[in-house]
């Protein structure tokens, strides 16, 4: 693994000019691994801890974890409680940073820290206790529990001060300042930061001083971003700059070029904030040179990004585009390392919020260049380039969410829309800071429509619409639905009419992923009444082969009984009976719908249509997304293990239907999982619901959907439109709460 981007645990969405801290800064708020005292530990354990610390310092998280687990096993076998506590503390320090995809149940940072703390207190080992409390503080900052974080840092600082440990004292006070800043207590944050500066000044090790000055500079930058007025913002900016300059001076004296690479880049970011673009460009180039020389890929892509922003601010768009493209190319080389950080459930920021802007800023520059291009062919090429730039982010987001590269397994040779469906249009939504761009592909080619609405306002309306449309007792959703219709549908209607479009395939972003687009409203009619609708997580992620017709290779599995604390779904029995009238499905119901039996059934058959009628939930954490079986839970990984092998045998699942799942409103990260479920599972398409619907409505919808789908020439999107229309025409289910949540994901044909 390449050097990891070690983001400070309390990181939040930053101003455009600020970037997250890089690999060499792992020694900041994250407590350095404790190596123990040789006299109190077996030599082999000391050696293993040293190896783990070396791996962690290089950002090789998986290797460090492997060695630490080996050390933990040896300590437990020897009955050495102190060593066991020390190793658990180090593992927790690692897990605060890393994703938990490959951890076992019970392997949680808070559990290990509390177990270790109990041992340290029993043994009266103040040094170990202080190290544990620093990690607890880091974890609590990530959870947003700032008061408890400060309490733990303060307990650790007492020991550090008593022992004359200025490095630990600085780490603790930087953590306290960070927690106070996030809590909005700027006066307290300033006090802690000033004390931390005293600790750093008292150190003799220049390299440690350089690293800690960078961390303290970052604290002042956070305070600057949260400052209530211009005067305070300016004061914090000056103090942050002072810390970065101190870091540069100490790093130069110590011959530490890596720290110089970071501190020069962060100082350049402050200059950018001040509007000193030419000076910032000079500094950022110096930082980039050092980052490249010292093989710091996380810093390389960030400073290339900064250089691109500065070129743009200085009016050189072509150079800006070149720098952005190089930055993204370098970012791809450390994407797996980024996934470790952003896939971490303790990370308060998402991959989209932290890394997404680089893709959208590049797309913005390319689209502006397209606007200035008179030649039609060149303009089309630029539109395609802009779309492919955002498309690269879609794949990276899904890989980050699922913590694997499942998206690479999808057929990359997607056909053009004209080849796939001459009456469909792909609507690629590109929300930018100052406007919305809609890239519309029909049989006639790719075109662009600009809409005067900011991304912030667009997403706000999307969340409000989703919040209200679920509530069957009100029609408050209509105003928000009209606003979204005016931005997303109305501007492109001339293009749709010209090309005879009857099906819209949206590639949404952010909060729009969890919006039922069929329920957008023009004041008189819903989108449902005008078009069939499908969504796609990305164009290159769609299987573009023609659909097969449902036949006997149909699996129906359902859970009508009350299980695992979830209420029963009695209409699931009716659902099964209705489907059986049209098809001859293999059926697993209630106590035959067992996880092992399901696996054995898939091993014996290649199903083309898989229908699961059971409670399910999409969570912001992919590992916590599940579908209930009678005896257990199916995770997304389980679905993949069941379904994907059939695609290797040339018989991929055409449609995976999840008829009773739900995705929490406002949870953009969970919606990402819903958008990618077909890709993850290895199905060409998925039919799922954004929220739980009454099982009577669900049974009717399922019956109408499959009956329509069985008719030759009917696409999945058209079958869904038919079923939703039947529901809407039923007096019991006229409100969109009942018919809107069903969405077709992936290949809509």
Q: Which of 111, 107, 90 has its CA nearest to residue 45? A: 90
Q: CB count, 10 Å around CB of 370?
A: 19
- CB-hemisphere CA count at 13 Å for 592? 9
Place of tokens 């820290």: 113
The yes or no reply on domain 256-402 and CATH 1.25.40.10 is yes
At 661 the pLDDT is 83
Comparing 40-49, 402-411, 439-448, 635-644, the range with the smallest average pLDDT is: 402-411
Q: What Rg do the C-alpha atoms of the chain give, in angstroms?
A: 28
pLDDT tens figures, 613-633: 999 888 877 878 899 999 999
Please check whether residue 505 is in contact with residue 512, taking contact to mean a CB–CB distance below 8 angstroms. Answer: no
At 20 the pLDDT is 40
Domain ranges of the chain: 256-402, 411-509+516-527, 554-746
Q: Which of 687, 594, 676, 690 has its CA nearest to residue 642? A: 594
Dihedral (Cα; 243, 246, 252, 258), 10-degree rounding: -10
Q: CB count, 10 Å around CB of 257?
A: 15
Share of the chain above pLDDT 90, in %: 68
pLDDT tens figures, 449-495: 999 999 999 999 999 999 999 999 999 999 999 999 999 999 999 99
- State the angle between helix axes of 376-402 and 668-675 in degrees (0 to 180), rounded to the nearest 10: 100
Q: What angle do CA 557, 566, 571 make, to 5 degrees?
A: 50
The reported pTM is 0.89
pLDDT, mean over the chain: 87
The yes or no reply on domain 554-746 and CATH 3.30.499.10 is no
Dihedral (Cα; 506, 512, 517, 522), 10-degree rounding: -110
pLDDT tens figures, 408-434: 555 444 566 666 789 999 999 999 999
């Amino acid at each position: 693994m390449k050097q990891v981007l070690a983001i400070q645990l309390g990181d939040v969405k930053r101003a455009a000019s600020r970037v997250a801290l890089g690999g060499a800064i792992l020694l900041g708020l994250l407590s350095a691994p404790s190596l123990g005292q040789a006299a109190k530990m077996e030599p082999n354990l000391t050696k293993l801890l040293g190896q783990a610390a070396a791996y962690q310092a290089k950002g090789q998280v998986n290797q460090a974890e492997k060695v630490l687990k080996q050390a933990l096993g040896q300590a437990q076998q020897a009955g050495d409680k102190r060593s066991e506590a020390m190793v658990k503390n180090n593992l927790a320090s690692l897990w605060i940073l890393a994703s938990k995809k490959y951890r076992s149940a019970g392997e949680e940072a808070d559990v290990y820290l509390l177990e270790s703390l109990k041992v340290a207190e029993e043994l009266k080992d103040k040094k170990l206790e202080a190290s544990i409390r620093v990690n607890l503080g880091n974890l609590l900052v990530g959870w947003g529990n700032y008061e408890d974080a400060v309490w733990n840092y303060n307990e650790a600082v007492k020991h550090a001060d008593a022992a004359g440990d200025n490095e630990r004292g600085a780490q603790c006070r930087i953590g306290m300042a960070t927690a106070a800043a996030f809590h909005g207590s700027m006066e307290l944050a300033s006090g802690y930061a000033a004390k931390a500066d005293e600790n750093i000044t008292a150190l003799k090790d220049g390299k440690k001083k350089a690293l800690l000055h960078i961390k303290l500079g970052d604290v002042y930058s956070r305070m600057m971003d949260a400052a209530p007025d211009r005067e305070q913002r300016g004061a914090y900016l000056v103090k942050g700059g002072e810390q970065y300059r101190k870091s540069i001076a100490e790093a130069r004296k110590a011959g530490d070029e890596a720290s110089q690479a970071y501190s020069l880049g962060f100082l350049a970011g402050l200059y950018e904030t001040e509007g000193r673009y030419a000076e910032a460009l000079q500094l950022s180039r110096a930082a980039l040179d050092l980052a490249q020389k010292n093989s710091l890929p996380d810093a390389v892509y960030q400073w290339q990004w900064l250089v691109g922003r500065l070129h743009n601010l200085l009016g050189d768009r072509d150079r800006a585009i070149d720098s952005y493209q190089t930055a993204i190319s370098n970012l791809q080389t450390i994407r797996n390392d980024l996934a470790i950080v952003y896939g971490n459930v303790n990370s308060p920021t998402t991959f989209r919020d932290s890394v997404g802007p680089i893709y959208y800023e590049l797309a913005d520059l390319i689209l502006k260049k397209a606007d200035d291009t008179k030649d039609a062919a060149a303009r089309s090429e630029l539109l395609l380039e802009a779309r492919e730039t955002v498309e690269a982010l879609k794949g990276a987001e899904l890989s980050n969410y699922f913590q694997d590269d499942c998206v690479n397994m999808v057929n990359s040779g997607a056909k053009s829309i004209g080849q796939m469906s001459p009456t469909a249009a792909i609507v690629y939504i590109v929300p930018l800071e100052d406007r919305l761009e809609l890239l519309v592909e029909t049989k006639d080619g790719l075109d662009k429509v600009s809409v005067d609405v900011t991304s912030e306002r667009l997403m706000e309306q999307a969340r409000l619409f989703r919040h209200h449309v679920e509530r069957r007792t009100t029609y408050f959703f209509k105003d928000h639905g009209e606003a979204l219709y005016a931005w997303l549908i109305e501007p492109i209607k001339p293009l749709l009419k010209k090309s005879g479009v009857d099906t819209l395939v949206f590639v949404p972003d952010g909060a729009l992923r969890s919006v039922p687009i069929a329920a957008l409203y023009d004041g008189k009619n819903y989108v449902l009444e005008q078009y069939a609708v499908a969504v796609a997580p990305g164009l290159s992620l769609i299987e573009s082969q023609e659909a097969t017709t449902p036949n006997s290779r149909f699996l129906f599995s359902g859970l009508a009984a009350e299980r695992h604390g979830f209420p029963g779904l009695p209409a699931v029995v009716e659902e099964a009976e209705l489907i059986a009238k049209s098809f001859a499905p293999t059926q697993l119901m209630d106590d035959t719908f067992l996880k092992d039996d399901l696996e054995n059934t898939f091993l014996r058959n290649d199903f083309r249509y898989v229908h699961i009628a059971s409670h399910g939930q999409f969570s912001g954490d992919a590992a916590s997304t599940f579908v209930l079986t009678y005896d257990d839970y199916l995770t997304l990984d389980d679905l993949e293990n069941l379904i994907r092998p059939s695609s290797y045998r040339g018989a991929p699942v055409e449609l995976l239907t999840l008829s009773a799942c739900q995705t929490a409103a406002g949870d953009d990260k969970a919606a990402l999982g819903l958008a990618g479920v077909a890709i993850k599972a290895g199905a060409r398409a998925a039919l799922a619901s954004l929220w739980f619907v009454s099982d009577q409505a669900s049974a009717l919808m399922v019956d109408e959907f499959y009956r329509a789908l069985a008719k030759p020439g009917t696409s999945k999107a058209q079958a869904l439109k038919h079923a939703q229309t039947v529901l809407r025409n039923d007096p019991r289910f006229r409100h969109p709460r009942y018919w809107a949540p069903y969405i077709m994901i992936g290949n809509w044909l």
